[in-house]
Structure 1
């Protein structure tokens, strides 16, 4: 077991603490949690200790005692992720590949849609064909979102985080 798995379990009782445990600072706060629960600083030991009702109370207390620090860590992680995305887009803003991938996916969706309505799919292959078409649609939607939604949303989140709002 790792700190990310422990963080998912902890999040049921203490969402903010679970989020931090599941992130890059998980090991550091794992030591705090392990100390409060009186177990070794190991994800397996903390997970085993969480079975008791007293552990849930202790987890909520840790979250309450360290709320400001946990919120700061969570905000820093979010800001780092947004900067990473912004940096990636900045590096690739002159690259033709995002447009090529979006165009290729658009063509594949058009062809697959046409085939879906004009070609008889053997009964044994229908489930696989529908699954593949669904996956293709999902990838296509993500590529379109890159152009029309995510970039604007990420820029707004980054602006808000930088301004401290």
Structure 2
């Protein structure tokens, strides 16, 4: 399974991590790359960002924490009071996409979801039953990783990530009340 660098960013820098997945992702990406000392173009490449996060020094992680605090202040100045406001924007964005799909009866997202799901599980089944040719192994692994990531997106789109979001809200509520996590 691929390294979940966005999840790690969310745990270290929750405001930046939350904004990465929404309409403010560009601004958050710039704050992230600046804190890690990588080029702005690196934010466009998942593997480069994963490597930068995995190999981050303690000083870079401290810079990321500081960047998160600065980013939170910047977002407050722009009218976003807290992480919940950023999450509400991202949730509204997903809800609008789903609502559009219902209103226009767009079959393309459903067809893509079915194709991705069938492709992912067909490839897994194939790899479990057959030894892939040596020269095709790398490309099959790339396909499996890509389809796996796409499938997670499909499941998140159609079923949401409310369990994790509920847990995060509960932990944040405890923290603001002074209770231990």
TM-score, length-scaled by structure 2: 0.45
Q: Rg larger in 1 or in 2?
A: 1
TM-score, length-scaled by structure 1: 0.48
